[in-house]
Structure 1
Amino acid sequence: MTKLSVAQGTALSIGAVLGTGVISMPALAAAVAGPASLVAWLALIALSAPLAWSFAALGARHPDGGGVSTYVRLAFGPRASAAVGWCFYFAIPLGAPPACSFADGYVADVLGGGETTRIATFLAIVGSVFVMNWFGLRVSGRVQLWLTATLAILLLVTVVAALPHAHRANLHPFAPHGWSGVGAAAAVLVWGFAGWEALSSLSAEYRHPRRDVPRATGIAVVVVGVLYLAVAVTSVLVLGPALAGSPAPLADLLATGVDGPVRAITAVVAVLLTVGAVNAYLAGGSRLGPALARDGALPKFVSTPRRSLVLIVAGSVIGVALPLSTNAALLLVTGCFTLVYVLGTAAAVRLLPPGWSRATAGVAFVATLALLALNGKPALFSLVVGLGAILYRSRRVKIASPSPSSAGSIAPNPNTKPACVAE
């Protein structure tokens, strides 16, 4: 039976959240808010602590492969659970192409651009993650542990090398696009902080969920916050206005402080960071699919982690062929994730015992509601996905419930561990 250690769980958490955000978000946020994007960074870092803790507290009390969808089912019933499950599950293949495209910017910076480079980078990243997860979480977790340690060191080296070239003048004008740009930057930065919900689907995979899930999450929150803020502040102070238009900001940052083949090095770093993020999502999605199938929210075909993994990868291949820009796909995905956060934190408010944990979940709920509003029209896509899930599950329940005796078998026991956990 595959079981995660605290170190492996921490590494998966850091990889899921840090991932592509650190290689792409500083430039995207600066493009819409200038130096004032640092305000959005601080706000999202502050939000990530109560958000992560809410999911950790739920995972410790209700370890299950369904993750947030399980918590929402326990709090609000199967239809709301199906909506959350679909929003997260189908956002994974839609989000894989833009995630890989951020790494492609770094690869193209070294090898040259073009469609061939984009497709090759996508296939290399998704293919390697598929192989790791095909052989189980033990392989995936160990690889993630080494990746995270190596990349954290490289990011610290980049910041330390570039900081001597910082200039306060790059903070002026502080808000060239007005203060509304901070809200726009926050909507973009949701992508960089998505990931706390992905690891909730792995809560049942820990050796001691009640003890290990909060420990792994707490360590991850501190590491992610420190690294994100260090890279964001250094990028603004060192690169200045050039940051907003950079396809490879981390490479530009390292090149400022270090001589040599730094662009090739950062291309490797970008690919590895992306592998880490995609790995965490595919690992969580491979467990979520069987849990949704168990609860009647997906077809029985998706009843094992490997089948779920194949479906997600196939969807990712379809996603890379869709005529969507990176920004359009990013906003659609963040809208889905934000709706997951809203319902997940609402479930935490209802399920967690009175006290500090419930109050923290309340803060996270209010903040995620504000983020959903900032996402604007793309958030409507998440509502469409959620409605599709409700209609699908309602139809399945009608078909599967011709009599009261059979209807009684639809609702799963919340204390039953999914069969997919023991591979």
Structure 2
Amino acid sequence: MTDDRHRGIGLPQGTALYVAAVLGTGILLLPALAARAAGPGAILAVAALAVISVPLASTFAALSTRHPDAGGVATFARRAFGPTAARIVGYWFYFGTPIGAPVAAIMTAQYVVAIIGGDRGTVILIAAALVIVPTAITVFGVRFAGWAQLLLSAALMAILVLALAAAAPHVHAANFTPFLPHGLGGVGIAVSLYIWAFAGWEAVAGIAGEFSRPRRDIPRATALALAIVSVAYIAIQTVVVGVLGPNVGRSDSPLLDLVTVGLGRGWGVVVACVAVIVVVGVFNAYFAAFSKLGAAMGRDGDLPAWFGHGAERGGIARRGLLLSAVLMALYFAVVAWLPDLQPVILVHTSIGAAIYGMGVASALVLLPRRSIGWWMSVLSCVLVLGLLVLEGANLVYPLVVAAAAVVVGVVARSRRRYVTAGTESADAADAPVPAAAGSAAPTPEK
């Protein structure tokens, strides 16, 4: 008899996927943007975000531990609020979130081209490769993606440690004063910038069903990932401020500046490697979630049943991945030629905020009242409400997608009722007609 515990992903692979989903491409630019807004106070902003992220991460860990399923947040919404809410959040994630893939790929490619040289065509080619490679990895399933991500995360951490260690001797204490040149208001702006550096828990909820021991390993993977991401961002922000000082606000590539100071300009390729590893790692985690969610939606009737293959634990959801790949290719064809990526970024962030809103609201219903996880979800609701307020008019896009999901549900129910009624009518027509009183029953034909 096969031991089922060995058929899923373990703590190391799960932690690597969580780190990839949360760390994000913000590591390439956020330290400079935050320092521009808050000066050395940006270090305080990162530390504050690390603390604020605890309830959000804990909420999704508690939900994923109790309800590990390929549907992720859609499964939580289904259990808490029913099929319509599940379809809405599934459409948000599956049809909305992929629009961020070409944006992240193009931004990373621009970062790489700034280091190695090239034109707009080079940017597009590199961006396309950054999407294709993790798609190919995910074809082999979540467990394979977990092992691949373990190697990617290890390489990323090694390169970051090398860059920070080389730059650390050039830190000057004078660069940390004044600590709050723009007051607490500047720290608040830096916090808002770093919010999305600590997002990603909604994505990894979709791979919770792939853990061999979800009740044991999901909380541990969440805690380890949050600790690793927090330490990484605090270390980078501290060294960036300490080395670059007043010039940090004018930097468009803080990691490149650190490597140049510590190792020399010829080592810029190290930063290019960091950029590539980061974005491939993010896509690796998200594409795994996309594939499993597509399969879960096919299983649950929110997509055609053909896509339901691979929703079970250990299954490889290639059909769900195929649909998400087609969506990303369409988005890529549009985004690649847009002169300004900001509107697309705002669409992506509004979808993310909406998914978080549904997730934490589901936690209030599903988690045992007054448990630690439930209190964490209460705090998370307050935090996410603030995010939704900040999104403002950008919430129009998730509202349109939600309306489309409701319409699809109404049409699907109407078709089912029509088919059911037609079947019942046909059954009634085929039923034998009782003979009239006093007449002989008809003789069946031979």
Instruction: Identify the TM-score tier after normalising by the shorter chain.
Output: 0.7 to 0.9
After superposition, the C-alpha distances for 1:219-258 in whole angstroms (9 at most, x for unaligned) are 1111111111111222233223443443322111222222
Q: Which residue of 2 aligns with 1:116?
A: 121
Give the conservation status (yes or no) of the 8 Å contact 2:354–2:388. Answer: yes
Q: Which residue of 1 aligns with 2:433?
A: none
Q: Secondary structure at the match of 2:8?
A: coil
How far off is 1:324 after superposition? Answer: 6.2
How far off is 1:404 after superposition? Answer: 7.9
Letter of the aligned partner of 1:309 in structure 2?
A: L
After superposition, the C-alpha distances for 1:34-65 in whole angstroms (9 at most, x for unaligned) are 54444443332222221111111111111110
Q: Compute the TM-score of the two structures, normalised by the length of structure 2.
A: 0.84
Give the conservation status (yes or no) of the 8 Å contact 1:187–1:375. Answer: no
Q: Which residue of 2 aligns with 1:203?
A: 208
Identical-residue share of aligned pairs (%) = 40
Assess, with a 3 A threshold, how the Cα gap between structure 1 residues 124 and 317 changes in structure 2: closer, same or farther: same
- Aligned partner (choices 298, 322, 326) of residue 341 of structure 2: 326
- Aligned partner (choices 378, 381, 386) of residue 370 of structure 1: 386
Letter of the aligned partner of 2:393 in structure 1?
A: K
How far off is 1:337 after superposition? Answer: 1.0
Q: Secondary structure at the match of 1:99?
A: helix
How far off is 1:135 after superposition? Answer: 1.4
How far off is 1:199 after superposition? Answer: 1.0
* Structure 1 residues 136-151: aligned runs within 5 Å: 136-151=141-156
Q: Which runs of 5+ in 1 are unaligned?
A: 407-423
Q: Which residue of 2 aligns with 1:414?
A: none
Give the conservation status (yes or no) of the 8 Å contact 2:80–2:366. Answer: yes
Q: Which residue of 2 aligns with 1:361?
A: 377
Determine if the alignment matches structure 1 residue 9 to structure 2 residue 24.
no
Give the conservation status (yes or no) of the 8 Å contact 1:286–1:308. Answer: yes
Q: Which residue of 1 aligns with 2:196?
A: 191
After superposition, the C-alpha distances for 1:252-303 in whole angstroms (9 at most, x for unaligned) are 1222222363211110121011100011000011101121222333344533
Give the conservation status (yes or no) of the 8 Å contact 1:105–1:247. Answer: no
Q: Compute the TM-score of the two structures, normalised by the length of structure 1.
A: 0.88
How far off is 1:31 after superposition? Answer: 4.8
Higher relative contact order (CA 8 A, sep 6+): 1
How far off is 1:381 after superposition? Answer: 2.2
RMSD: 2.5
Determine if the alignment matches structure 1 residue 259 to structure 2 residue 264.
yes
Give the conservation status (yes or no) of the 8 Å contact 1:27–1:246. Answer: yes
Letter of the aligned partner of 1:10 in structure 2?
A: T
Q: Which runs of 5+ in 2 are unaligned?
A: 310-316, 423-446
Q: Which residue of 2 aligns with 1:269?
A: 274
| Structure label with greater radius of gyration | 2
Letter of the aligned partner of 1:363 in structure 2?
A: L
Q: Which residue of 2 aligns with 1:412?
A: none
Q: Which residue of 2 aligns with 1:342?
A: 357
Give the conservation status (yes or no) of the 8 Å contact 1:187–1:374. Answer: no
Determine if the alignment matches structure 1 residue 398 to structure 2 residue 414.
yes
Could you tell me how far apart the structure 1 residues matched to 2:330 and 2:171 are? 43
Assess, with a 3 A threshold, how the Cα gap between structure 1 residues 343 and 226 changes in structure 2: closer, same or farther: same
Q: Secondary structure at the match of 2:134?
A: helix
How far off is 1:158 after superposition? Answer: 2.1
Letter of the aligned partner of 1:335 in structure 2?
A: S
Assess, with a 3 A threshold, how the Cα gap between structure 1 residues 286 and 168 changes in structure 2: closer, same or farther: same
Q: Which residue of 2 aligns with 1:224?
A: 229
Could you tell me how far apart the structure 1 residues matched to 2:402 and 2:265 are? 50
Determine if the alignment matches structure 1 residue 315 to structure 2 residue 327.
yes
